Amino acid sequence: MQRKICDFHMHSLFSDGDLLPAEIVRRTQVLGHRAIAITDHADGSNLEQVISVLSKASSQASKYYDGFSLIPGVELTHIPPGRIADLASLAKRLGAKIVVVHGETPVEPVAYGTDAAACSCPDVDILAHPGLISEESVEAARQNGIFLELSFRGGHCLGNGLVAAMAKREGAALIVDSDAHTVGDHMSPEDAFAVARGSGLSKADAERVLYQNPLLLLKRLGIY
3-state secondary structure (DSSP) of residue 168: helix
Q: Give Rg (Cα) of the chain.
A: 16
> pLDDT tens digits, the chain, 224 residues: what are they?
579 999 999 999 999 999 999 999 999 999 999 999 999 999 999 999 999 999 999 999 988 888 899 999 999 999 999 999 999 999 999 999 999 999 999 999 999 999 999 999 999 999 999 999 999 999 999 999 999 999 999 999 999 999 999 999 999 999 999 999 999 999 999 999 999 999 999 999 999 999 999 999 999 988 87
What pLDDT, on the 0 to 100 scale, is given for residue 1? 58
Number of C-beta neighbours around residue 9 at 10 A: 27
For 92-158, give the DSSP string.
HHHT-SEEEEE---TTS-PPTTHHHHHHT-TT--EEE---S--HHHHHHHHHHTPEEEEE-STTGGG
CATH code of the domain occupying 5-220 = 3.20.20.140
Nearest to 152 by CA among 185, 123, 124: 185
